[in-house]
Amino acid sequence: MKLEELMNLPKIEQHCHLDGSLSKAFAEERLGRRVLDSELQVSEGCASLNEYLDKFVLPCGLIEDLTGLREAGYDFIRQMKQENVVYTEVRFAPLNPARESIRLDRVLESLLMGLDKGKQEFGVEYNVIVCAMRHHSEETNLGMFRAAREFLGAGVCAGDLAGAEALFPMCRFESLFREVKKLGMPFTIHAGECGNVQNIVDAVQAGAGRIGHGIAMRGNRRVQELCREKKIGIEMCPVSNLQTKAVDSPLEYPLREFLDAGLAVTVNTDNRTVSNTTLSGELEFVQKTYGITDGEILQMMRNAVDTLFAEDDVKNRLLRLYDAF
């Protein structure tokens, strides 16, 4: 498909972080000054994950209060509308040191108010995935999940585990996610982004319905078969993964391998603003770079629907969008 056709295609975004996807216009309005692209986006020659993470300092400061969260939610949905994303599951870490004095229920309420305003104005459906952070204690993370559980089915759809995977492997969080399962909250887990395939195995065994990135199972047929048999969604973020050097070169990126293995692969942006990307641009990139066919683009959209944390009626409505293609 040409870029224009990809822009017009109804799209689903499964893996996109709020703080890494705030628009330049939003930042300028909040700060009351001109913002340089270099303050929010990595350069084309991004050399490391640390350089990538530096770009989160400014946007995280923009959503420290309830007004910022509400306006950020609206800004996020507005961006989705611009390229015909029809449904998104936005990731958000409610626990932030700058928001410690604000109750978690008010934090989530404010974000949901902004997202809902965007939905009403632009028609983009959404849900929120709340992120526990690997560097937080189990008690702190479980408290967050318990607070977010009150919003399950009312704007929150699932949980996640994010942060420094290499320093905090998945085996440390098995007890946490046993408790999350008891809460009745589905979850995805960032795993295999930093080279350890065991994190993927542990995440699947813990009950994750999806895996964020999953690159470490490249060349590992046993783990790929485990994910295929259990119908685990694999949330891939090509541009971001290449920028953070999750793989050494584009040739080593396993998108084609995973598709050929029958995995439920989806393509996502991860951090729209930090990576200077869009979902349409990601799809154009994988078609040009990895020979992904139009049929495979549509299959990945259906994969996205199948592995969403949304209600069945939402899934059925989204699936019908692709009947005409």
252 is catalytic: no
Spatial distance between the Cα atoms of 144 and 156, rounded to a whole number of angstroms: 12
Distances from the Cα of 36 to the Cαs of 23, 42, 55, 273, in angstroms? Answer: 12, 12, 12, 12
DSSP 86-141: EEEEEEE----GGGTTS-HHHHHHHHHHHHHHHHHHH--EEEEEEEEETTS-HHHH
Cα–Cα distance measured from residue 138 to residue 203, given in angstroms and rounded to the nearest whole number: 16
- Catalytic: which of 193, 235, 282, 284? 193
204 vs 210: CA distance, rounded Å: 8
Reduced to 3 states (helix: H, G, I; strand: E, B; else coil), residue 32 is coil
Residue type, 323: D
Residues tagged active-site: 193
